[in-house]
Amino acid sequence: MKLHLPLLSVAAAVVLALTVSGCGGAAEAGQAGQAGNEVKELRYQGSANNVTFPELAADLGYLGDLKLNWVGNTTSGPQDIQSAATNQTDVGGAFSGAVVKLIEAGAPVKAVTNYYGSDEKTFSGYYVKAESTIKEPRDLIGKKIAVNTLGAHHEAVINTWLTKNGLSQDEIKQVQLVPLAPNDTEEAIRRGQVDAGTLGGVLQDRAIEAGGLRSLFSDVELFGTFAGGQIVLRNDFIEKNPNTTRTFTTGVAKAIKWAAETPRDEVIARFTKIIESRGRNESTANLKFWKSPGVPDSGVIKDEDFTRWEAWLNASGIVKDKLTPSKYYTNGFNELAGKKG
C-alpha cells in the first residue's frame, strides 16, 4: 500500500493553487456553497490493485454520511497533493519531503494524518548481490543504486543512512541513484546493471525467496517504526468544512487502527472484497503478501515525521533554515490523537 513518490517541480502548481483558491465558479466545485452546508463528497485519487485507507474507512463505515468520489489513480505523490492544492481533488497524499516542499513553495495545504510508513513487518530494504564486495556505506561511493524515482522517500533514506555513517555530501553525490521501475529492480541487481537496489512489499518477498541477494540495510533498521508520508487537505477546504474534515480524518485513523488490530486474514479478505466490488479491472493477486499497515499510532502525526528528514531537506535546498514542523500539520481533526493540534 505504500507509495514512494517523487519530488517534482511545484512552482506552477503553487501559482495555480493560489489562483484557484481565489476564484469562484467552477473553481468552487466540490466546495460548500454556503456557510453551514459542508461538503459530503470528497474527490480523491486511488492506487491500482491497492486499497487506500480512505477507501477502507468508507467500507468499514467510519466515514458516516461522507462519500468518496474516485476520479482516477494517482501517478505520484507530488501529483496527488498538487491535485488537492489546485482543487482538482480534495484529498492527496505524499512522502513527508514532498509535503514540505509544496508548503514551502506556498501551496495552501496542511497534513491531517499519516498514511504510510514502515514497521518490522512492512519496510523497504536496500539489497546487493550476495557475492557483492559492497559491505559498508563507504563502499557505495562510485556505485549505482536503483530507486523508483529521484528526490523521494528512498533518496532521503539513502542520504540519511550515508550521512549517519560519516559520508560527506560531496561523497554522497558520488553515489549514483538510478531511476528504475520497481518491477525491474531485482533483475537489474542480479544482472549487475546496478550495484544495489531498493525492494519492498511483494517484490522484496519474492526476491528474498529466490535467494542470491543480501540486505545492506532497511529503513526500519535505520529509523525504527516510522511514518513516511501524510494525507493533506487544502486550508480553505478545512476552514469551510471542519466537521467533514474531522469525520474524514478520524475515519482514516480508525481504518489504520483496524488494520493494525485485525487478524491478517480478515484484513486481506476485506481488501479483496473492496477491490473486486469496485469494478476497476484490477488484480488481487498481491494482497496475499500484505503483512501490516506500516503506519504507527493510528496516523497521529509527530514533529519527527518531518524533522527526521531535516538534514536531507537542507542538503537538497528545499528548506534553508531550521525546520518548523507545525507549519505542515495538525492533529486537531484526528480524534484518536486525544488532543487538538
pLDDT at 13: 46
Instruction: Judge if 210 and 244 occupy the same domain.
Output: no
Count of structural domains within the chain: 2
Q: What are phi and psi of 245, to 5 degrees?
A: -60, -45
pLDDT at 78: 82
DSSP assignment, residue 262? S
Whether residue 5 lies inside any domain: the answer is no
Single residue among 223, 242, 271 that ends a domain in this structure: 223
Instruction: Judge if 92 and 179 occupy the same domain.
Output: no
Instruction: Judge if 95 and 235 occupy the same domain.
Output: yes
Q: Which of 34, 141, 93 is nearest to 248 (CA)?
A: 93
pLDDT at 77: 83
Instruction: Judge if 203 and 244 occupy the same domain.
Output: no
Whether residue 100 lies inside any domain: the answer is yes
Residues 6+ apart with CB under 8 A from 124: 2, 4, 118, 153, 154, 157, 198, 199, 200, 204, 218, 219
Instruction: Judge if 150 and 238 occupy the same domain.
Output: no
Instruction: Judge if 97 and 131 occupy the same domain.
Output: no
Whether residue 147 lies inside any domain: the answer is yes
Cα-Cα end-to-end distance for the chain: 27
pLDDT at 137: 97
The model carries a pTM of 0.84
Instruction: Judge if 230 and 322 occupy the same domain.
Output: yes
CATH number at residue 25: 3.40.190.10
Q: How many CB atoms sit inside 10 A of residue 214's CB?
A: 13
Structural domain of 40: 11-119+226-337
pLDDT at 147: 93
Single residue among 158, 193, 223 that ends a domain in this structure: 223
pLDDT at 36: 62
**CA torsion through residues 65, 87, 293, 269, sign:** positive
Instruction: Judge if 153 and 76 occupy the same domain.
Output: no
pLDDT at 182: 86
Instruction: Judge if 311 and 251 occupy the same domain.
Output: yes
CA atoms of 23 and 18, how far apart (whole Å): 9
What tens-digit pLDDT sequence spans the chain (341 residues)? 444 444 444 444 444 444 444 443 333 444 444 446 899 999 999 988 989 999 999 999 999 999 999 999 987 788 899 999 999 999 999 999 999 999 999 999 999 999 999 999 999 999 999 999 999 999 999 999 999 888 888 999 999 999 999 999 999 999 999 999 888 999 999 999 999 999 988 889 889 999 999 999 999 999 999 999 999 999 999 999 999 999 999 999 999 999 999 999 999 999 999 999 999 999 998 898 899 999 999 999 999 999 999 999 998 888 988 999 999 999 999 999 975 44
Instruction: Judge if 269 and 318 occupy the same domain.
Output: yes
Instruction: Judge if 244 and 303 occupy the same domain.
Output: yes
- Cell numbers that stand for 280 in this block: 476497476
Whether residue 6 lies inside any domain: the answer is no
pLDDT at 340: 43
Single residue among 169, 203, 223 that ends a domain in this structure: 223
Instruction: Judge if 84 and 160 occupy the same domain.
Output: no
